Structure 1
Amino acid sequence: RRWIPPSPTRRMNPRRSHRKNLCIFLHPVTDSSEKPTHIRFLVPKALAGYVIGKGGSTITQFQDNSGAQILLSRNQEYFPGTTCRIVVMSGTTVQVLTAFQLVLAKLHCQLQAEDGSDVELRRTRVVIPHSSCGSIIGKGGATIRSFIEDSKAGIKISPLDFELSDRLLTLSGTMEEQMRAIALILTKLTEEDDYSQQMHSPNSYRKGIFFHK
């Protein structure tokens, strides 16, 4: 059965409605749904305004609905080599996945409105610390292959750039496939003791970047 994303503008209790929606993505991952974590991903500059909303209204509502903190790099502050702004979400695993789902649903609805057809956001790029890529890949690529088989999403890791401490993880597929993939990936990352500290570690491209909340 095709997954229908919830309305991104509807106010709801994340401990109820979203937990029910997210159970298909989290189960049977691990028991880390309440552990603190974070995720960083890219949003094209042309779509960033839809995530923020007028006067920050949309991003504030996403925070209220999910319980996660959501930060966005300021205008014209992009991930190196792209024209995409960086979104940072932090909270428990459930809160972060809820916020991620709300943003994908918002962008999905906006693309439908502009295109006039049932289009989907077919690709998402997640920022992963290079030091954490090994756990995602696994021995001989076993872990990433299992994630691809489980989620049915395409998952690719960008080549190592020695000038950056991060790499891009590209997810491709339907929204349902991307959500399952990100649930698997985030849960795996959250199991690492050092991952939660990575959000505050210095990166050359983030010097001087202020985040809009």
Structure 2
Amino acid sequence: GATIKSFIEDSGAGIKISPQDNNYIGLSDRIVTVTGSFEEEMRAIDLILSKLTEDPLYLQSMNAPLSYSVGTAAYNSSYGPNGVGGRYPNNKEDRGNSLTIGVADEHIGVVVGRGGRNILEISQASGARIKISDRGDFMSGTSNRKVTITGSLRAIRAAEAMINQKVASVTER
């Protein structure tokens, strides 16, 4: 509780974590809800990810397939010695880190945003490069477009969280 309190004070964002006994069947993951201005939310996510990357068990789970309903995940886990760290977009080690997730074709519009505004914002805030597959280029056996996120481990996780948040905002309506 003290860690979360300090994150709330530092970021100015509201942070709520689901109870440990309220997990989905088969998952030990807990849901973290972050509220506030865009800057407050990004600061809170950065603090949370920093804390998570200190945990060796969390780092091991980074290479496991994700269980989101958003789609399938495929990792290229060629992490360099500086693979976990701050945002260094020009760092050679960071170029090898990539994550490909599937986003339902009908939700790509909200991820990209009008004139590419959302995807640009996500890229700038996270420090990750994001590439979306062309129309009709789907993850095999699905109608999910491929969204490839490249950068440091922290940048990838931040971008992934923001993309998932955009998708959740339209699927919860």
Pick the TM interval, shorter chain: 0.5 to 0.7
Match of 1:59 in 2: 119
Q: What is the CA–CA distance in structure 2 between the aligned matches of 1:6 and 1:21, rounded to whole Å? A: 13
User: 2:158 aligned to 88, 92, 98, which one?
Assistant: 98
CA distance in 1, matches of 2:121, 2:54: 26
> TM-score, with normalisation over the residues of structure 1?
0.46
Structure having greater relative contact order (Cα 8 Å, sep ≥ 6): 1
Unaligned runs of 5+ in 1: 115-213
User: Post-superposition shift, 1:6?
Assistant: 5.1
Q: For residues 67 and 19 of structure 1, do their structure 2 counterparts lie closer, same or farther at Cα, with a shift above 3 Å needed?
A: same
**CA separation in 2, counterparts of 1:59 and 1:52?**
5
The two structures, once aligned, show a CA RMSD in angstroms of 2.4
Q: Which residue of 2 aligns with 1:25?
A: 52
Match of 1:104, as an amino acid?
N
1:145-165 CA-to-partner distances (Å, cap 9, x unmatched) read xxxxxxxxxxxxxxxxxxxxx
Which residue is equivalent to 1:10? Answer: 38
- How has the CA–CA distance of structure 1 residues 81 and 13 changed in structure 2, closer, same or farther, with 3 Å as cutoff? closer
Contact 1:11/1:61 (<8 A) preserved: no
Partner of 1:72: 132
Which among 41, 48, 68 is matched to residue 108 of structure 2? 48
Deviation at 1:92, TM superposition (A): 0.4
* 1:4 match: secondary structure: strand
TM-score with structure 2 length normalisation? 0.56
Question: Deviation of residue 46 (structure 1)?
Answer: 1.0
Q: Does the CA contact (< 8 Å) of 1:12 and 1:65 recur in 2?
A: no
Asked whether the equivalents of residues 13 and 65 of structure 1 are also in contact (C-alpha less than 8 Å), the reply is: no
Distance 1:110 1:27, change over 3 A: farther
Q: Give 3-state SS (helix, strand or coil) of 2:151's partner.
A: strand
Amino acid of the structure 2 residue aligned with 1:94: R
- The alpha-carbon distance between structure 1 residues 6 and 62, as it changes in their structure 2 partners (threshold 3 A), is farther
Q: Is the 8 A contact 1:59 1:70 kept in 2?
A: yes
**Structure 1 residues 26 and 48 mapped into 2: Cα distance closer, same or farther (>3 Å)?**
same
Task: Please state whether the residue corresponding to 1:48 is helix, strand or coil.
Answer: helix
Q: Which residue of 2 aligns with 1:38?
A: 98
Check the 8 A contact 2:103/2:147 in 1, yes or no: yes
- Report matched runs for 1:81-160 at 5 Å: 81-112=141-172, 114=173
1:118-151 superposed Cα distances (whole Å, 9 cap, x missing partner):
xxxxxxxxxxxxxxxxxxxxxxxxxxxxxxxxxx
- Whose helix proportion is higher, 1 or 2? 1
Opposite residue 142 of structure 2, the aligned amino acid is T
Count of residue pairs the alignment pairs up: 111
Retained in 1: the 8 A contact 2:139–2:146?
yes
Percent identical: 19
CA separation in 2, counterparts of 1:84 and 1:26? 29
